[in-house]
Structure 1
Amino acid sequence: MKATTPAGRGAGFTPPDFGGSRFLRYRDLMRVGFREVVRKRRRYIGVVAAIALGTAGLIIVVTMGRDLKKNFNNDLDILGGATIINAHFEFFPMEKPEWFRDYTIKALSEIPGASVVANTVLQVDVETTWHDRSHKFSILGVDQNYWSIFGFTPALGRLFDASDIRAGARVCVLGAELARLICGTEQEAMGSTLTIDGNLYTVIGILGGVRAGDRGRIAFLPLSTALARINGISKPYNAYIRCSSWDDVDQVAERIPAVVAANQTSQGLVLYVSWEALKHVKRVYWWVTLFIYMSIGATIVLGGFGIWNIMMAAVTARTREIGLKKAMGAEDADILLQFLFEALSVTVTASILGVILGRAGVEYMGMLIGSSPPEGLFLLCLILGLIFAVVLGLGSGLLPSIRASRMQVVDAMRYE
């Protein structure tokens, strides 16, 4: 019996097959699209590089942003002490002076966002004799955290540590100017013995660091030693709290009075915060971050426009090919999907390269700043990067694909 054809259909009509056996299956379309990109790879090098570098930069900035911010906070010479809070007890006439107890210092160090807490005591106008010459200077008793709060390093020798504090060691660190004033040179001061308030102290280091200039005429003693051996030295009424990040300064400063009041009286407590310096640092960081993100975004968007431009040119150049495929039975959807898959092949390939470069950059940055990259955040960036690549491919390839799919067979076949 002769087969009949539905009304309105030509003799060559093939009923749609929803099982997937169309003229070109999706798998074939993807293979053809990817193969076409590989064949014309030279024209895509620029946009692939732009999208890959943009993706890598975004991954590095997002993944390592927090660690980089912490590293900037550690460099207090750059921030100008913007993340340091000075908690101070003021003296009032006819009232007993207040000072920080050890358990209060411990409680302050446990405030979320507080990185390091240091306690200090001060004594002015002490005297020492060196080669029959008397010299007056000030003494500052500090703990081991004091050095890291202000970014001090030893110009010579070493700075005393927690073991010296626990032992009450009779050692001292001299400011560079004081070392030259007493001993002539910093090298000669190293290892010398000074008599301070009737006790002998060995000079184990010379204070160094960019911020050491304003402390050049001070001798530093271990806090426990100063409290035990220096007559008339002050109680530890001064404490310094360095915050983990400038974002933590507000909440740490807000919690300090309550923490102090929970452990001892807080009468006379005053906080000194460099609010103007903090605002300046935040403003500069915000603009720098905005510039970085805008640069990365512009790079990726330009890559998308590059794909759009190349795909539009490809549609024009392959007009006869499109007409031939349609004449052989390809539907509009087949042409549309093929060109979309070509755009997706470019963006996904670029995104994968960007992820690889981003991972290498994250590892390198982690090595530079001594930090391990957060794996969870990197994985999130990887997933978002791939999703964005798909969106970018669809967005940049959709219009050229629609244009190609809507071509008329006769006009396309006759195109010159």
Structure 2
Amino acid sequence: MIEAGDIARISLRQVVRTRPWAVTLSIAFGIAAFIALGVLGQEIRHKLNQDFLLMGGVNIIRVVMDDLRYPGSERHYFTEDSVRALRKLENVRLVSASASWSPTYNQTVGKYQYPLRLVGIDEYYAAVNYLDIVAGRNITAEEVRGHARVALLGYQAAVEIFGSPQKALGRQIYMSRNDTAPVVGVLNGVLMGDATGYAFAPYTTTLQRMLNDQPALDRIYVLAASWGKIPQLAADITACIRSRQTAPHVVARYAEQQFQRIADTFFWLSALLWLSIGLSLLLGGFGIWSGTFSAVRGRTHEIGLEKTMGATNRDIMAQFLAEALFKALLGGIAGLLLGLLAVLVGVFFLGCPFPVGQMLMCSAASLLFSACLGVAGGLYPASRASKMDVVDALRFE
């Protein structure tokens, strides 16, 4: 019986001598891609969530009371308790409350009057709707709680009334017929739409001045932390609100068509990526299987000699299995190094910390899978080699 150390040494020397580069590279590329996707997959999704502005803001859910569609139905408004409850839901990053109904007050522009609609918002409105502060600053939580007389302007309104965003800062706009507020900032963004011509103030201030302190929050914006569960989150939002107040016609809307297109794109992209990884590893496994068969055929006479010198069937099988295992592990180690390089490059461009825990888990899984691939690819040829008849093997030329 051959010692295990001798089998390992002989098998490793045989692998080095045959130089199975094609098999090694095939397994290496598959393992490297697996590690890169496994380690950076979540970070890539997180980065894409931050860039959904380019996809139409599909992770913004707009919540409204749709009472006006039902003639004779009583009007309902959101309560502060409902807003606080929504912030505790799973998959919610930010929640912004808004009092969008308000009168329009004319602002004098030379000889003309510019009709300026005033919308009540909170400090999260700009962040939830992917809006930029192009001049000045945002309103603060303290200003919302303190009913402060401050205002923001949309970019178009700032240009048409005052000439530019910078010139609008510090100027007064009407919040009611006899009340004004200074402009502290100017908003702009792709998703503003008509709101680029509006003015914005703390909703506590607009409600106090226009609605006699009545709770009239009529719109809520919810920014989902991840796009993948938006339909479920929309259902959770309506259930959460109905559990805390009367809301027979509350509706949570999101861009369903854009969401479905993005979901389909991600599905097929992920499927193609994993299919390519699977095919690469399958090709490596077939290469091990084919290479081991070729080795068995080319060394048939050698197998017969080993058996005449006392090698058992188990020794022969272990020798060829070890060769297949070393080939797979060589590819796995090469793939591990390539995967580490890919992760380092990805971390650099994504600007995220190196995920040590995920890297260790994916590395261990990769090496284990490589070993299983080697054993699976070499098992049948090794079994055939071990069952060879000694006389037939010695006669083989």
TM-score by length of structure 2 reads: 0.84
Q: Which has the larger radius of gyration?
A: 1
Q: 2:89: which partner in 1?
A: 111
**How high is the sequence identity, in percent, across the aligned residues?**
31
Q: Secondary structure, in 3 states, of the residue corresponding to 1:129?
A: strand
Q: Paired residue for 1:128? A: 107
Residue 272 (1) aligns with residue 256 (2): no
Q: Quick one: which amino acid aligns to residue 215 of structure 1?
A: A
Classify 1:201/1:251 alpha carbon distance in 2 versus 1 (closer, same or farther; 3 Å): same
Q: Secondary structure at the match of 1:30?
A: helix
Residues 190-223 of structure 1: CA distance to partner in whole angstroms, max 9, x if unpaired? x351322331312423413x32344322223233
1:227 matches 2:207: yes
Q: Quick check: 1:57–1:296 contact (8 Å CA) kept in 2?
A: yes
Structure 1 residue 295 displacement after superposition: 0.9
CA 44–164 in structure 1, closer or farther in 2 if over 3 Å, else same: farther
CA distance in 2, matches of 1:48, 1:160: 59
How far apart, CA to CA, are the structure 1 residues paired with 2:10 and 2:245? 76
Which residue number in structure 1 is paired with residue 119 of structure 2? 140
Residues 3-24 of structure 1: CA deviation (Å, up to 9, x unaligned): xxxxxxxxxxxxxxxxxxx2x1
Which amino acid is the alignment partner of residue 203 of structure 2? L
Alignment gaps of 5+ in structure 1 = 1-21
| Aligned mate of 1:242, from 210, 223, 227 | 223
SS at match of 1:354: helix
- Note the C-alpha offset of 1:373: 6.9
Residue number in structure 2 paired with 1:285: 266
In the alignment, the residues of structure 2 paired with residue 182 and residue 261 of structure 1 have an alpha-carbon distance, to the nearest angstrom, of 42
Q: Which residue of 2 aligns with 1:36?
A: 14
Matched, 1:263 2:244: yes
Any conservation in 2 of the 1:138–1:218 contact (CA below 8 Å)? Answer: yes
Partner of 2:163: 184
Quote the residue 1:71 is aligned against: 47
Q: How many residues are paired up? A: 390
Q: CA RMSD in A?
A: 3.2
CA distance in 2, matches of 1:96, 1:265: 10
Match of 1:100 in 2: 78
Whether contact under 8 Å (2:165, 2:186) holds in the other structure is: no
| 195, 203, 207: which one aligns with 1:215 | 195
Matched with 1:399 is 380
| Whole-angstrom CA distance in 1 between matches of 2:16 and 2:380 | 22
* Residue aligning to 1:5: none
Structure 1 residues 294 and 413: CA distance shift in structure 2, 3 A: same
Q: Give the alignment of 1:12-31 within 5 angstroms.
A: 22=1, 24-31=2-9
CA 1:52/1:220 → structure 2, altered by over 3 Å: closer, same or farther? farther
Task: Tell whether the 8 Å contact from 1:165 to 1:225 is kept in structure 2 after alignment.
Answer: yes
User: SS where residue 221 of structure 2 aligns?
Assistant: strand
Is residue 2:90 matched to residue 1:88?
no
Q: Could you say which residue in structure 2 is the equivalent of 1:19? A: none
